[in-house]
Amino acid sequence: MKKNISIVLISFVLGMFLFNSCDKIDPVDGSYAKPVYTEKMNFVEFYNDAAKSFSSEYAEFNNQTEAKDNLVTMVVLSGDATVVGNTSASAKLSQQLDLNNDEALMVFNRKKQDGKWGIPQDKWSATLDNASDKGKVALQIEGDYADKTFKGKLKVKSTAHISQSVQLSAYIVVNKMNIGNVDLQNVLWEDTLNMPLANALVEDEEVEVDFDYTIKNYDLSYEYSLIVCVEDANTGLVLQAGISELKEQGDTGELSFYDKQKVLIEDFTGHKCGNCPKGHRALKSIIASNGEQVIGMAIHAGFFANPYPGTPFSADFRTRVGTLIADYYGLVSPPKGLINRTGEDNKKLKPVAEWETVVADLLQQSPKVGIALKANVSGNTISAKVSVKAFETVAEKCNVQLFVIENHIEAPQTDYSQNPSEVEEYDHEHMLRASMNGDWGELLNEGSFEQDQIISKAYSLHKKADWNAENLAVIAIVFDENTKEILQVEEAKL
């Protein structure tokens, strides 16, 4: 007997991903392997205050669960809600189970032990050792992601008669999260689904749930999995659990690194600088001629970038990091530009007339490193993951730095080539908005950066209300910590 239930859920922005349990291509013959039913999985939750030190409790918990193949685990952090995507999810579960933050507690299949939900640490081992290998239902998860929407099926099959009502719950968890120098696994990120499934199930009855799922609170800093529970609707007892790792569609786990030299032009400008549009036009022309190998960043800094309240030039496009870079290189009179920050110490700032020639020379070089960059915006959070590969051994210490830029900002600009010279609706492009990781980024390699070595970093930044997400991009640079010369640059639109 088979039933089908259709539902549309719009609660969660994740991007284009595949469930790990979806149809998989066999690496030998390319055939598809269908997902199978899980029949013996128990659901184990570990509750603790995120602000507390719990390395010893978690280490014991993790060691016991990793040694067993019939457990689906989830860590629920309470207290410090800033570490989770949906801050209400952890609080809601803790309140539902009437748990406090005084000690680390385990919950097993949402079943009370000695009249209480939370199991103290001295009873964890016995509880896990007695975990059953067979449930009354089997669970299967399948589906895929496209255009930030998940479309899939949850299939539940009864292996015995169930007289009580049955429901489904689902959670998104972070595969690994470091809290207090402890690597936690399957940390609750947000709850995604709670719905009735059937009033009762006869033996061998199968029920399918179709759902269309748009994901929120996605942070590229993390990797995720989906946990699904089949529950007794009256008591909350978990009858079966399943977990599927969320993978980017078509992702083989291999990073792609551009193997040609790219060039960053840092264009110093200001809205009251009448000659600066000459630099804007030159930058646009150079990018048009060289495509993705040239990247631009407009840095509003110095006297001509000052805001003038009560006038059309009241906006302040200056940034802390932009001013710091301008001061470091001694900017006096824009338009001037840094071209991969190359040149003699007192001649790094290039006049517009030299940009094209310097760029052409740099593009003939072979890069020492390659950059793979992914960026995403979800709600008010911009997240990015950058990986750097050494194409040859690099002895120097290098820093990696990520910037957020914005295109198509409509605001006044003085332009001496126009009459009148004050252009009210000027299209500002490549405007630097912020650094994602400090004034000069973060140290990438302490010692020698060996050939073929890959180092990855992840960062996030709060998006300000006046930034248009559709026009944002992230730029990543790798540069010599000492000379500040840029070895490679990459850009990713959000």
Q: What is the pLDDT along the chain (494 residues), one digit of tens a residue?
A: 555 554 443 333 333 333 334 333 333 333 333 456 888 899 999 888 766 666 777 888 888 888 888 899 999 887 654 455 555 677 777 777 766 656 788 899 988 877 777 888 888 888 888 888 777 899 998 877 655 566 788 899 998 999 999 999 989 888 888 877 788 899 998 888 889 999 999 999 999 988 776 667 777 778 888 899 999 999 889 999 998 887 755 554 567 899 999 999 999 999 999 999 999 999 999 999 999 999 999 999 999 999 999 999 999 999 999 999 999 999 999 999 999 999 998 899 999 999 999 999 999 999 999 999 999 888 888 989 999 999 999 999 999 999 999 999 999 999 999 999 999 999 999 999 999 999 999 999 988 999 999 999 989 899 999 999 999 999 999 999 999 999 999 999 98
- Return the closest-CA partner of residue 488 out of 479, 440, 459: 479
CA distance 469 to 406: 8
The CA-to-CA distance between both ends of the chain, in Å, stands at 46
6 backbone dihedrals φ, ψ, rounded to 5°: -110, 140
pLDDT at 73: 93
pLDDT at 381: 86
User: Which residues have CB under 8 Å from 14's CB, separation 6+?
Assistant: 145, 148, 150, 172, 215, 218, 224, 246
Fold of 2-248: Immunoglobulin-like (2.60.40)
User: 263-493: which CATH number, 1.10.287.110, 2.60.40.10, 3.40.1390.30, 3.40.50.970?
Assistant: 2.60.40.10
Every domain of the chain with CATH number 2.60.40.10 lies at 2-248, 263-493
Strand pairing report for 24-25 and 137-146: unpaired
User: Which residues have CB under 8 Å from 147's CB, separation 6+?
Assistant: 16
pLDDT at 48: 81
CA distance 461 to 456: 17
User: Which residues have CB under 8 Å from 76's CB, separation 6+?
Assistant: 45, 46, 47, 48, 90, 93, 94, 187, 188
Q: Which two tokens stand for residue 347?
A: 């001649």
Q: pTM of the prediction? A: 0.70
pLDDT at 324: 98
pLDDT at 7: 42
pLDDT at 47: 85
pLDDT at 63: 84
The amino acid at residue 168 is: L
- Return the closest-CA partner of residue 101 out of 145, 51, 151: 51
Alpha helices in 234-331 (DSSP H): 276-290, 320-328
pLDDT at 308: 96
- Return the closest-CA partner of residue 213 out of 141, 115, 314: 141
Q: What is the dihedral of CA 346, 368, 325, 357, to 10 degrees?
A: 50
pLDDT at 394: 96
- Return the closest-CA partner of residue 458 out of 219, 119, 127, 211: 219
Q: How remote is the C-alpha of 311 from its chain's centroid? A: 40
